[in-house]
Amino acid sequence: MQQQLSNSFNKVLVIGGGLMGGGIAQVIAQQGIPVVIVDRTSEDLDRSRARIKKMITRLNGEGAVEEVLSNITFSTSYHDGADCDLAIEAVPEILELKLEVFRRLDEILPPNAILASNTSSLSIAAMSSVTKRPESVVGMHFFSPVPIMKLVEIVKGMNTSDETVEKIRLFGEMMGKEMIVAKDFPGFTVNRVLVPMMNEAAFLVMEGNDPEEIDRGMMLGTNHPIGPLKLADSVGIDVLYNTCMSLFEGFKDSKYRPCPLLKRMVEAGHLGKKSGQGFYDYGGEK
């Protein structure tokens, strides 16, 4: 089955070489499948290459770096992935931006190619609507850091075919991931539960509670391996805020309202670990 699967996805295009996109490309390249990472600038691609190299070294040793990177092409042009039979979009959680990516992918990739989104909360149905292949558009939500986290949510939109879901399920399993299928509603399964918890923790901070006390309470009282505020810093405060907004706008339910503190933190550039400051001070570490 794995041989059949590798033949159906001979080359993969990843749009966005950030933390998520780079991690997705890494786990695919580790299976010997050629990957093209497309990002906006050569500087973005240099950062992506350095991040991937660091993660490979951490997990597999420096000796594995060259072999994995030999399967990855870094480019600023979509056309370098025009012969791919699977594309995975991993750009920021802004629907208009994702719709533009899907329009371009639909124009450039072969008619039989599957188009997947790594969105954590946005509508797969909406993305499929701007393509001529809605049955081949699917959610493929990885978790960070991608090379370590086992889960991938497959999100089946209203137009997504069962065949597309099955191909993606087998592909994920080939990469060593555990797959679950989620319905195409804001937040899907994991973030529908997780994001409100992190958002509520932010309300506690806004009310004057100590972030360390909140995190210790959740770790010791509920056996979580990491507190919700440390996790928020790791995910990115901007990502958390955008996901909160997706839930709030998608359900029109006040229980999903984003904590005002999150918006202020985004405006101040306190985006968590990646900026060096979030609910915790990372002393410039990114």
Q: How far apart are CA 173 and CA 249, in angstroms?
A: 33
> Which amino acid, 119?
T
Contact 47, 21 (CB under 8 A): no
Q: How far apart are CA 110 and CA 180, in angstroms?
A: 27
- At 6, the pLDDT band (50, 70, 90 cuts) reads very low
Q: What is the mean pLDDT of the chain?
A: 94
For the segment 269-280, what is each residue's pLDDT rounded down to a tens digit?
999 999 999 999
112 catalytic residue (yes or no): no
Instruction: Give the list of residues 6+ apart from residue 220 with CB closer than 8 angstroms, or none.
Output: none
Sequence-ordered alpha helix ranges (H) in 109-189: 124-128, 162-174
153 catalytic residue (yes or no): yes
What share of the chain in percent tops pLDDT 70?
96
For the segment 62-73, what is each residue's pLDDT rounded down to a tens digit?
999 999 999 999
Per-residue pLDDT, averaged over 138-157, amounts to 96
Q: How crowded is residue 67: how many other Cβ atoms within 10 Å of its Cβ?
A: 13
Contact 191, 121 (CB under 8 A): yes
- Among residues 104, 109, 117, 105, the alpha carbon closest in space to that of 157 is found at 117
Phi and psi based region of residue 208 (left: phi greater than 0; alpha: psi -120 to 50; beta: remaining): left
Per-residue pLDDT, averaged over 45-57, amounts to 97
Q: How far apart are CA 187 and CA 185, in angstroms?
A: 6
Sequence-ordered alpha helix ranges (H) in the chain: 2-8, 19-29, 42-60, 65-69, 95-108, 124-128, 162-174, 190-206, 211-222, 228-235, 237-251, 260-268
Domains and CATH numbers, the chain: 2-183 (3.40.50.720), 191-268 (1.10.1040.50)
> Which is higher by pLDDT, 30 or 285?
30
For the segment 155-196, what is each residue's pLDDT rounded down to a tens digit?
999 999 999 999 999 999 999 999 999 999 999 999 999 999
Q: How far apart are CA 212 and CA 120, in angstroms?
A: 26
The catalytically annotated residue of 123, 141, 242, 270 is 141
Which pLDDT belongs to residue 284? 58
224 catalytic residue (yes or no): no
The catalytically annotated residue of 121, 128, 159, 191 is 191
Cα dihedral 206, 19, 62, 42 sign: negative
Per-residue pLDDT, averaged over 42-62, amounts to 96
- Laid out side by side, the sheet with 35-38 consists of 72-75, 35-38, 12-15, 86-89, 114-117, 137-142, 151-156, 178-183
The catalytically annotated residue of 120, 123, 136, 199 is 120
The catalytically annotated residue of 153, 242, 246, 275 is 153
Instruction: Give the list of residues 6+ apart from residue 128 with CB closer than 8 angstroms, or none.
Output: 102, 134, 135, 137, 157, 158, 159, 160
141 catalytic residue (yes or no): yes
Token pair for residue 154?
Answer: 């497959």
Q: How far apart are CA 164 and CA 171, in angstroms?
A: 11
- At 4, the pLDDT band (50, 70, 90 cuts) reads very low
Dihedral pair phi/psi, residue 134, rounded to 5°: -60, -30
Is pTM beyond 0.85? Reply is: yes
User: Could you tell me which residues are beta bridge partners of residue 179?
Assistant: 152
